[in-house]
Structure 1
Amino acid sequence: MNKIIIANYKEMAPQVISQGGNSFAVKSVIEEADTGKCAANFVEVEPGQFAYGYHYHEVNEEVFYIIRGHAVVRTPEGEKSLKEGDIIAFPANPEGAHVIRNGSATEKLVYLDVGTRLMPEVVHFPDTNTGMVCSSSGTYHFQES
């Protein structure tokens, strides 16, 4: 980070991300321009929706803390059910593959996503055999062979 950051979750403007009929909101604690070695975002997922899609990282580790709601996390070991107050950490390898969906029919899921932010990074999406390389010069998508 380039500076000390103080933020209030309730005052942050959300960025809505839509992917194939699915959407979720991200409130960045550490803006992209201020990112150094770590990242932190609040993620809001409406009932029946999920965030980001099933993926794993080669470089960056992630930790999720459930603030409100019921999360169902798909992992290579099967689904994990998480409740308010639970925390889950993912290594940077195929065993750390994950996707979080809202397991409630009525309540919004809110969690804090904290992780390392090292570049370059390679992210794999096993369900679609695609991936992306993220670097300081941009994001590049690829098809797995």
Structure 2
Amino acid sequence: MKHDTLKINENEVEWGTWSKGDEIEHNRKRLIDDEHVNKLYCDIYEIPPGKTNWPQHYHTCNEEVFYIIEGQGEVVTESGVLKVSSGDILRFPAGEKGVHQLKNTSDRETLKYLDFGTTNFPDVVFMPADNKIELFAGKSGQDKMCSYKDL
């Protein structure tokens, strides 16, 4: 694992795509890749119009921060639904109070955001709406001990 200063240009990183069902879809650039992950990660996401980023979830050991670069949407949180737009910063603490799901509410514009957070392992991720859990045991989620198990 490298711990040197790292300079990355987002234009040199390829997009990856992930989807689940009809509602969940995103494109992601892993800016700090698994080789460099130590105590934090950093990704850029794009959510197509009308889609959500991930299943509603929270982490037991990790915090996340989103910076909305462009677009508009809403995030489902423990305390309700918050409207978000360019320039907004969202912090999701570890634990149930950090439950979240980001949705692009536009019917034609992409929602783009920076996602960064801590990488403490193991990390149990609860998806309460789906009644499932995921356990990450290694860096950046590569090593999963179990995945999408019913509670």
Out of 100, 103, 110, the position equivalent to 2:102 is 100
Question: What TM-score do the two structures reach when normalised by structure 1?
Answer: 0.94
Aligned partner of 1:143 in structure 2 is 150
CA distance, structure 1, for counterparts of residue 81 and residue 41 of structure 2: 25
**How do 1:114-133 residues align onto structure 2 when only pairs under 5 Å count?**
114-133=116-135
Match of 1:82 in 2: 84
**Residues in 2 aligned to 1:10 and 1:105: alpha-carbon distance in whole angstroms:** 26
Amino acid at match of 1:2: H
Give, in whole Å, the separation in 1 of the partners of 2:108 and 2:12.
23
Aligned residues with identical type, % of pairs: 33
The normalised TM-score by structure 2 is 0.90
Cα RMSD, aligned residues only: 1.3
When the two structures are aligned, how many residues end up with a matched partner? Answer: 144
* Unpaired stretches in structure 1, ≥5 consecutive residues: none
Worse-matched range after superposition: 46-55 or 131-140 = 131-140
Q: Distance in 2 between the 1:31 and 1:121 partners?
A: 18
Name the counterpart of 1:16: 17
Structure with the higher strand share, 1 or 2: 1
Runs of 4+ in 1 over 4 A off after TM superposition: none
1:35-54 paired onto structure 2 within 5 Å: 35-54=37-56
Whole-Å separation in 2 of the counterparts to 1:132 and 1:123? 5
Find the counterpart in structure 2 of residue 5 from structure 1. 6
AA matched with 1:143: D
Find the counterpart in structure 1 of residue 63 from structure 2.
Answer: 61
**Aligned-residue offset at 1:10:** 2.9
